[in-house]
Structure 1
Amino acid sequence: MKYYYLFLFIILLFGCDKKDIAVSSKNNRPDKPDSVYFDKLVHMECLPASATLDSLQRYIGDFQTVESRQRSIYYLLKTKWHRIQGEKDSTLFYFDKLTINEGDVELKILKFLEELYIDYQSSAAVAYDKSARIFSNIKFAEQRNSLFTFRLYRELAEAYYLNGKQRESSHFNDLWFKNTPNKKSLWVQDSYYSNQFVIAHQLERVDSMKIYLDKVEKVANQLNNERVTAKFHNYEAQYHYYAKNYEAALESSKKFFNYYKKIDNLAYDNYHNLALAFLDNKELDSALYYFKKAYVVSKENKEEINGELYFKMLAEVYDKQGDFKNASIAKDSVQKHYYAFQEKVQNDKLEELKIQYDTEKKDIKINNLQSTNKLHKMLLVGGAFLVISVGSILYMIYKRRFLKAKNEKLEIENKKLNIEQKVLQLQLNPHFVYNSIANLQGLISQGETTKSVNYLSSFSKLLRNILELNREDFIPLKDEIASVTNYMKLQQMRFEGLFDYEINLPEDYNTEFIMIPPMLLQPFLENSIEHGFKNINYKGKIEISFAITDKKLIVEIEDNGTGMSNSKTENPNKKSLSKIIIQERLDILFNQKSKESYLEISSINQDEKTGVSVKIILPLIED
């Protein structure tokens, strides 16, 4: 039985020799060359997060002038600083500003590394294309003797590990340790020996496990750090298990478990591993207790677990206790999870086959078109009369088929209208919800308790309104304004100090009885904040106005951002998507018979004022 969970292959580096990372505040100047910061970043790989943030803050403080803050190295340092703090929006904001010139070898490698860290998912296999890109950058770095080639070796070692190629992972882990300038650091040594132990564990090489376990223990004793010592006990438990010394494995597992209990950070894996250790020692009651506790904790923490493995182990405990009824129930669950997994595998295979089929279908279509072109050439040679005759016949056939297909399409579209209306509303929500949660996580990680509570309160209120209001085709204007207000407050917390907003509404309007489609304004407000204000050096402002004229409700949104013509780096297709979706919603709701509702979007560029103006004209609907 070898179902212990080991921590994923993640390089844990927490400290270097002080002489390597010393920072002199007396010499901080905005005109330091990039090479100064490259040298500091080389040694920063072995700093803990808190010390890394402190160092980055000092480096960023070197850039005091507007000109110095246009340098790529500044954007890189800001990207790294926000990423470590878990601030996704700010991380992507500064990462997008990073421009690399042809000769900027080190900056190119560092930008690629940041891209990997931004995309990193520790629990999933690394896609082939990402591994290929790491290889490509290693070749580029080796040819140019980059300072950061060793960092790329480390990333490839981790990629191989996640893809189950342990021998290749060990090779590049060796290359990383051989080439890192920080190998004298005890923390770097601990990381290297730990990685090699985990690889040996995966390959079930007991002798190698013992060699690297002894090295981890030696470094742990020198570091005298509780977390490192706890990690050693975890490795020690795995080694004793493979050495069939189950009593010693249980004692080591308890030490590891008690450390995480002490810091109040117990998770499913902790309970699961301890349960297995009790099971190996035939302490069935304790094993059953911790297996059940593991399942409860996984539900509380919303952890994704290997259900097939869990119920298989639970069934084994019940069998050994003679509780065959519960053992049978657990085995049924094993089968359910097994079939669910197999169904997922089959679905993935079917999807691959579908892609292959679509590709082959396109190839056949291309061949058919080529054959048709040859036929047309032959017809031209045959004479004008034959061409005209055949062309007329083909045109009539084509037109008849086209009209038939169009009529069938219209019938399908009519059936889909009611469904699409709901789908279009839902399409407006996921991006904002995802980024809001990421931003909240960043605030919590910084210890900003008050901001976190305010942010969570506004976000939960807005989310509740969205979930409730999206069930309706129309909602009172009062509810839409409340939703917009909550949304704008959230965005102001995300982008602190970036913009103000103002909602203008005549006092005599009864907003409880004026009806409007839900979530109508948010996409344009998002465009103003995340596109219009992206590169401005002044405070942005958004004005939202409501007016009633000739039985029409007119909503105007105006910002003082860069305007559409000045956003050179923006993808025009992306920015027009909200307009397309909103216009489709308006067409479905109001424009089936006549043009009762429409959008007007224009760029403002007059008297040194720039921005975008959005006007939404709706039929006045009163409840």
Structure 2
Amino acid sequence: MKPFLAPLITLVLCLSCSTGILSQSKAIDSLKKVLANKTFDNKKSISSTLRTLGVAYFEIGEFTQALSYYEKALKISKETNDEASTSRCLMNIGNVHLSNGNYPVAIDYLNQSLKISERINDTLMISFSLNNLGLIYRNLENFEKAISFSEKALEIQKNIGNKKGMAETLNSLGLLYIKIKDYEKAKKTLKEALTISQNINSEYIEGFTLNNIGYVYLNLKDYDKSLEYYIKAKKINLDINGKRALTVSYYGLAKALTHKKEFNKALPIALKSLQFSQELNMLGFEKDIQELLSIIYQNTGNYKEALTSYKQYRTLNDSLFNKKNTEKIAQLEAEYKYQQALDSASIRELKLTEQVSATSRDLAKSKQNYLWAIIGVLLISIILGSTIFFQKFKTIKAKNYTIATEQKLLRSQMTPHFIFNSLSVLQGMILNKEEKKSVSYLSKFSKLMRITLENSRDKLVLLSQELLAIENYLSLQNLENDAYQSKITVDDSIDSDKYLVPPMLMQPFVENAVEHAFNNEQSIKTIDIHLNYSNKNLICTITDNGIGINAQKGIKNANKTSLSTAITSERLKILSKDLKVNGWVTIEDRHKYNAQGTLVTLVIPYKLVET
């Protein structure tokens, strides 16, 4: 059986005083009544009540409601110049974005909170901000830096005697030790957190901690001990109605039972975990549950459901992979560079201001016109410096945008599904002893891979080379069963060896036609590619006789098509500026022309070969 890892749920420090979700629900009702009756003497009390409501919603996983109340509380705190309350509200808002995986925004809010807390010497808030920044670095897999933040936070919590903060921070450290596979240290740290949470009667923290200890024993392959802790966690999380933690409890129980080969017991528990993860929109968690379900169904002989779950797992895995990794790092780097630039500009501006003041005092007895001339020169310097700074920032931002777009392009050039399917077809030919056919297929596949990799290294390639890659791709698709009738035509006015074009512009749309344009019942499937040159524009049209783009929009996998279109559109904007040649793409349903299928019109930026 394939090994698999359990996902970890982050316990974010949120400055709450609750002992359970049921009590939180009662608190929400009571606080709403208080707000409705307007029984307040001042705005500070209103802000505190709004923030407490936000904390209550946060702990039951209602992040949208929590964010709404935090922002209202922040507005009042700023109006009343209450820095302590402002710091707490900023941290709470950062925690919501952290839980939603929006790390650049979370870092911004947490750093704002930390700056205020350090200014007013609020040690409790400093420790909370440090811990939550550590959580972000853990999610970015910078474990050394994350442990450093959490250890500093824990030291502050111990010094001020905050038991709840200690339990939460110990949980964070325990998860980090799991990440670096120091399971004994993780077990010791989490059991310390469990003892503290039980002493202070915090069922919310206790439920999370029991889940995490169960996960440690899963990694140690002590499945009976793991079941013992997950069962305890499930009972507590059911009592307090903590759905996020309960989702983890059900998943851990199902996984431990699967390892013990008790598949019939594991199945209903895994389905409960799947239900909760879908209700809470926990996509990463849902992906792992679908993988677990495919294993359970396979071992219970339900191969149809096993295949369905595996397909769902692959779909979720591809979706999360394409949307997150590359852009997240690029965004963080841009945020970091931008903040550094702002800090540097602020320091320079402060020094210039001090110079202006010193000059004014030294020249108080000299001529007034001379004084104003000096001040004018300094002001012009500030304006020029600011202009240069913002131009540099704009350039950095454009470069990061270009890098992110090119990285997304490389990931979308040839889908994992196509490579997997091609290798599966080749394997089938070999097993069926179709030597000649398999050799031909392997030759075409290797040629396509070589062309794709070579084209990926260059910014511009010959049009003839790009068309050769598309011909090989369509040939591979047809080699097994002649599924498609395809044709590539180039007008006589175009010499394909004289035009340099960006690589992999046409291929995503051809691949989309192959993957999404036709239904299984359609007998004749045609894909026509035509290139012509008109009004100094190199125009490529890709036409199919499939179901049409309007029908595709109702299909679940249509988001992959739109992702390819979005990436290509972004590339075209950048390439058009670089090459100073028109470039755009339009996609139309041929129904408007009284025909069947989809019409893609691609105006390709180009450069002529220098002779």
TM-score (norm 1): 0.43
More helix per residue: 1 or 2? 2
TM-score (norm 2): 0.44
**Whose relative contact order is higher, 1 or 2, with alpha carbons under 8 Å and at least 6 apart?**
1
